[in-house]
Amino acid sequence: MLVVTLQVVYEKFKHGAVEKKLLLTWVVLLVFGSATLLFREPSFLMWKVSIINWLFASILLGNQLLKKPPILKSFMKMASPQGLPKIPDKAWLDMTYLWAFAFFAIGMVNLYFMFYTEPETWVQFKLFGVLGMTFVFAILNAIYLNRFVKKEAGKSS
């Protein structure tokens, strides 16, 4: 909790604002981390993984239901100041659904490790399993996007 709090303070002073995803993660971490410490019950912290991932999935899907521009496109624009290749809106929609599924799946797999394994095994899943699942979905996303980047590169040459 301390490290994320320091990260939030750093972001606020360095950039003047805190990214919404970080802020949301920090708030949920404080609530569940404090409950874990107060009640000496680790399940509060274990639930945080599922709740945060389900919130992210809900935000992605809710954004699409409200017919707003894809959030992923905005994130990618922030990460790539030199500009993005022209990617069709359908591709952004597909990636939104892929990531919503990824966040939902991570939350569900976390439940399995919470209820059917020892806490030490859950910690290993939290450290390596969540990272591994995120990495797999990022690779799938990159493979999917690569088709559009190649088409864009072919047009410019």
Amino acid at 152: E
The span from the CA of 109 to the CA of 103, in Å, is 10
User: Would you state the pLDDT for residue 86?
Assistant: 79
Exposed/middle/buried for residue 112 (C-beta within 10 Å: 0-12, 13-18, 19+): exposed
Indicate the pTM of the whole model.
0.76
Which segment, 32-36, 147-151, 153-157, is predicted with the most confidence on average?
32-36
Lowest mean pLDDT among 67-81, 107-121, 131-145: 67-81
Closest CA to 69 of 87, 86, 93: 93
Q: 57: Cβ–Cβ under 8 A, 6 or more apart, which residues?
A: 99, 100, 101, 102, 103, 104, 107
Lookup result for tokens 């020892």: 118
**What does the alpha-carbon distance between residue 91 and residue 17 come to, in Å, rounded to a whole number?**
30
- pLDDT digit string, tens, across residues 76-130: 776 676 766 778 888 889 999 999 999 999 999 999 999 999 999 999 999 999 9
For residue range 10-54, what is the model confidence (pLDDT) as tens digits? 888 888 888 887 888 888 888 877 877 888 878 878 998 999 899
Of 144, 107, 100, 98, the closest CA to residue 129 belongs to 107
CB 12 within 8 A of CB 22: no
